[in-house]
Amino acid sequence: MTDVRQPKRPTIYDLAELAGTSASAVSSVLNGNWRKRRISSQLAEKITRLAEEQGYALNMQASLLRREKSHMIGMIVPKYDNRYFGSIVELFEDMARTRGLFPIITCTRRDPELEVEAARAMLSYQVECIIATGATDPDRITEICSAAGVRSINLDLPGSRAPSVISDNFGGARELTRRTLRNCERSFGRMEPLIFVGGRGTDHNTSERVRGFRTAHEEMGVDVDDSHILTCGYAAAKAERALINLVEGGAALPRGMFVNSTISLEGVLRWIRERRIDGPFEPVLGCFDWDPVVQLLDDKIEMVRQDVPTMLQAIFEIIESGSTKEGVVQVPTLFFGAQGGAQQV
């Protein structure tokens, strides 16, 4: 019989030898106590990196028994520049405090290096859990947290190594597209393919919204091709420039548009305003985001509101259950249509 041995799992003593330091220093870094011991950030970084490279993971149960509870919880957010992320932060703070937890929140500007830096800083203060919201690489955050014996949960964008709570991006985009196409028919007498504007084609949410956009067109018998998909980023200036380039390239003015966020919508509205110099131009709009001011100013826009209270309730239920099992919870979106009223689909 062949003797197949499992590779030896690294210990803190192995990591200490690789890092050129003591086992107690390694233990302090992995448990998040290194600042109290005045261990340098350079050594803490080195030990954390080695732990990840060597596949070292703390025994979480034993670690939690040994460590005093800090009652601190961390959240990483990508931006503060729209109502959606602002509402997440505000409600997260309230819900954490009502549970006796002290929230620590930082903005990482969709920069993967800042996300890692933020996660490590939070771990050094012994947070009990990190909520990675809209992280560019959520699995990387999970790896860092796992090495320190701390739980992580993904919000808004999913990962494959920790529980995730997200909006139903496909279902929401499909319904938003259907509504916008019907509004186009009511306004212009026929359905025409919409233009999809904004977002990053490489991220999960945008790719799922594009899928819903394409599916709705197919279901309603409207042809749409790659030239109608402008995943140009979220910035307003990029959305405006993408539309300018589209028309300068010979495309007809779109009768309707699916806009991927209120940030992109700013650029779309600026472009529409400039087009009015040449005469009236009022395309039908659908926006996968929500802002009450926009809703009041224009009766030709359909808007999707992501259900932040339900999403955060799901986050805290996962925390309170103690679950670390991978999986994705999808929360239905709310619709605020041109005809008024909110509906869940």
Token pair for 60: 């979480």
b or e along 64-89 (b: 16 or more beta carbons within 10 Å of the residue's beta carbon)?
Answer: eeebeeeebbbbbbbbebbbbbebbb
Question: Mean pLDDT throughout 17-33?
Answer: 83
Token pair for 64: 């939690």
Confidence category of residue 4, pLDDT binned at 50, 70, 90: very low
Torsion of CA 172, 212, 208, 162, to 10 degrees: 50
Is 176 in contact with 288 (CB distance < 8 Å)?
yes
Is the pLDDT score of 192 beyond 80? yes
Q: What is the pLDDT of residue 63?
A: 53
Give the number of other Cβ atoms within 10 Å of residue 60's Cβ: 14
Question: Mean pLDDT throughout 81-109?
Answer: 95
Distance CA 11, CA 17 (A): 10
Distance CA 123, CA 31 (A): 8
Question: Mean pLDDT throughout 55-77?
Answer: 69
Q: What is the pLDDT of residue 335?
A: 94
Token pair for 247: 């028309």
User: Closest Cα to residue 200, out of 269, 117, 110?
Assistant: 110
Question: Mean pLDDT throughout 46-61?
Answer: 73
Distance CA 176, CA 170 (A): 10
Please count the helices (runs of H) and the strands (runs of E) in the chain: 13, 13
Is 96 in contact with 124 (CB distance < 8 Å)?
no
Q: Report the share of the chain in percent with pLDDT over 90.
A: 66
Question: Mean pLDDT throughout 16-21?
Answer: 90
Q: What is the pLDDT of residue 273?
A: 87
Q: What is the pLDDT of residue 2?
A: 46
Q: What is the DSSP letter of 260?
A: S
For residue 152, with 0-12 CB atoms within 10 Å meaning exposed, 13-18 middle and 19 or more buried, which class applies? buried
Radius of gyration of the chain (CA): 24
59-73, 187-201, 263-277: which has the minimum mean pLDDT? 59-73
Confidence category of residue 90, pLDDT binned at 50, 70, 90: very high
29-38, 91-100, 113-122, 246-255: which has the minimum mean pLDDT? 29-38
Distance CA 209, CA 167 (A): 11
Instruction: Give the global pTM.
Output: 0.80
Please tell me which residue, 56 or 309, carries the higher pLDDT value: 309
Confidence category of residue 240, pLDDT binned at 50, 70, 90: very high
Q: What is the pLDDT of residue 324?
A: 85
Distance CA 30, CA 205 (A): 33
Is the pLDDT score of 266 beyond 60? yes
- Provide the mean pLDDT of the chain: 88
Is 258 in contact with 286 (CB distance < 8 Å)?
yes
Confidence category of residue 297, pLDDT binned at 50, 70, 90: low
Question: Mean pLDDT throughout 283-289?
Answer: 95
Helices 12-19 + 23-30 axis angle, to 10: 110
Q: What is the pLDDT of residue 49?
A: 84
Q: What is the pLDDT of residue 44?
A: 85
